[in-house]
Amino acid sequence: MASGYERKLGLTETLSIVVGRIIGSGIFRTPAPIMAAVGVVSMFYGAWIVGGIITILSALLFAELVAMVPRSGGPYVYLRLAYHPMVAFLRGWAMFFVSETASIVAVALVFSSYGLGLVAQAQPELLADLTVTSSLILRGSIAFVLIWLLTMANCFGVFLSGVIQDIFSIVKIGALLIIAAACFGSSPDFSHFGMEVMSNPDPNAPEAGSLAALFAALRYSFFAYSGWEGATYVAEEVKQPEKNLPRSLFLGIGTVMVLYLLVNTAYLVQLSPQEMVKNKAVAVQSMTNAVGIVGAVLVGLAIMISTFGNVSSQVLVKSRTWHAMARDGLFFRFLGNLSPTYRTPNRALIFQGFWASCLLTMAVVAELVHSDPAKDTLYETIIDFFSFTSTIFNILTLASVAVLRHKLPDLPRPFKVPYLSAVLGLVMILQLAFLFYTLVDALVPSLLGLALTLTGLVYWYGFVDPEKRKSLGHEQILAELQKND
């Protein structure tokens, strides 16, 4: 169709989107809270390995979905096909107004923070007179410029976006390998790999080395792996999606898991578990120990490169969900059009940038009125507030593989999950256990995130045409698939 997307993304670009979406700031920020939660080196690795395995098994389930229904929008499309359309709508509503757009802001702030840090090291006199207030405003301003720079870049066609992903994914992987090489090559201390149990100063924290401690750590491990499903958001722009999307998921997640284990081992040969917990910026401290101040500068550059590419991929893939929802009449209708020139959802991109700017402004204001404005807590706050709600929709999306096999058994499936009962059963057990523990461990943030999600019911019942709600069953998606074929 003349108004449809153009298939310009090959396996390389799709793989780059997967890698680019996963590798952001997590590998630089989450090792400390993971080690603090588990207190044992062996379980520290366990959190990364379990998180990676569950991610790979989840990707196996997604591969069947995306090969069967190669439409842009990602999980929103699968939820709408498998359940009542209100479920898909609430997922999209929560992602836009809460977690997904806020994630763009959080990573953009990490970029600006490390950028200012590098300037402070290179030209300290430039920032010497900054107050806490002016420093926060400057940090927010840099993040604002980054968000809009990448929003505009994504408005000029998906091919340009794909090239950006290729470049920054290669640079990210290279940066992580350089960090690993530097840490291993400079007096590595392997005595840190003992089984010593650390005492956690928080009396409410689970016992070190316990199963409860592992689930507490998985909240951060899952966050570090999050974004792997990003390529499914641009399914209608991928060449041979039934082949390239499953391949990109497996290759991308497998590559990132190996990199994460390598880099975390590199951290541990430079930092003891206690030092890792004490220093949130474990990558910076590890490189400083390995090669001095030059190491801090190098890792700062690596984090800026990583976060720049991550924000770019987030801006690219997430806008497709808002466009898909608007196209279906479940979101603001003016977001449902594509650019006639570039075949990109420019209105959705710009509206996403606008809301991200609003969240950024609120975040900066919140930091200014914080009792300790110099303390950066935004990153952990995002994880704690929305892990519970996101897990609910993850569980529903993964379960939709079995639902659709029962509901639409004759739909062509270019890829089928082998041993579905075993794979889905294992994923569901761990996801449900994680959901329960997250609710218990972070009750208030979990309930607040759920309450914010349910505000979408006001829009659903107040602004979505009742006749439209009735016509949004799986029949419409099937008809569109047949038309495209």
Highest-confidence range of 21-25, 159-163, 176-180, by mean pLDDT?
176-180
Tell me which amino acid residue 215 is.
F
* Model confidence at 374: pLDDT above 50: no
- 298: phi then psi, degrees, rounded to nearest 5: -65, -45
- Report which of residues 16 and 169 the model is more confident about: 16
- Report which of residues 389 and 373 the model is more confident about: 389
Cβ contacts of 443 within 8 Å, gap of 6 or more: none
The closest alpha carbon to 163, from 319, 10, 21, belongs to 10
Q: What 3 state SS string does the chain have?
A: CCCCCCCCECHHHHHHHHHHHHCCCHHHHCHHHHHHHHCCHHHHHHHHHHHHHHHHHHHHHHHHHHHHCCCCCCHHHHHHHHCCHHHHHHHHHHHHHHHHHHHHHHHHHHHHHHHHHHHHHHCHHHHCCCCHHHHHHHHHHHHHHHHHHHHHHHCCCHHHHHHHHHHHHHHHHHHHHHHHHHHHCCCCCHHHHCCCCCCCCCCCCCCCCCHHHHHHHHHHHHHHHCCHHHHHHHHHHECCHHHHHHHHHHHHHHHHHHHHHHHHHHHHCCCCHHHHHHCCCHHHHHHHHHHCHHHHHHHHHHHHHHHHHHHHHHHHHHHHHHHHHHHCCCCCHHHHCCCCCCCCCHHHHHHHHHHHHHHHHHHHHHHHCCCCCCCCCHHHHHHHHHHHHHHHHHHHHHHHHHHHHHHCCCCCCCCCCCCHHHHHHHHHHHHHHHHHHHHHHCHHHHHHHHHHHHCHHHHHHHHCCHHHHHCCCHHHHHHHHHHHC
Name the β-bridge partners of 9: 238
Q: Please tell me the distance from the alpha carbon of residue 74 to that of residue 183, in angstroms, as a whole number.
A: 38
Tell whether domain 11-467 is in CATH 1.20.1740.10. yes
pLDDT digits (tens, 9 = 90+) for 41-74: 989 999 999 999 999 999 889 888 888 888 777 7
With bands split at pLDDT 50, 70 and 90, how would you rate the model's confidence at 270? very high
* Model confidence at 5: pLDDT above 80: no
Q: What mean pLDDT do residues 165-169 have?
A: 72
User: Do the beta carbons of residue 22 and residue 225 sit within 8 Å?
Assistant: yes
pTM: 0.77
Residue 479 is encoded by which pair of tokens?
């008809």
The closest alpha carbon to 231, from 46, 396, 66, belongs to 66
pLDDT value, residue 298: 82
Q: Out of 231-245, 260-274, 414-428, 455-469, which region has the weakest mean confidence (pLDDT)?
A: 231-245
Domain limits, the chain? 11-467
Percent of the chain with pLDDT over 70: 86
User: Do the beta carbons of residue 380 and residue 33 sit within 8 Å?
Assistant: yes
pLDDT value, residue 1: 37
Average pLDDT of the chain is: 82
pLDDT digits (tens, 9 = 90+) for 417-472: 989 999 999 999 988 988 988 888 778 878 888 888 899 999 898 888 787 776 66
pLDDT value, residue 212: 81
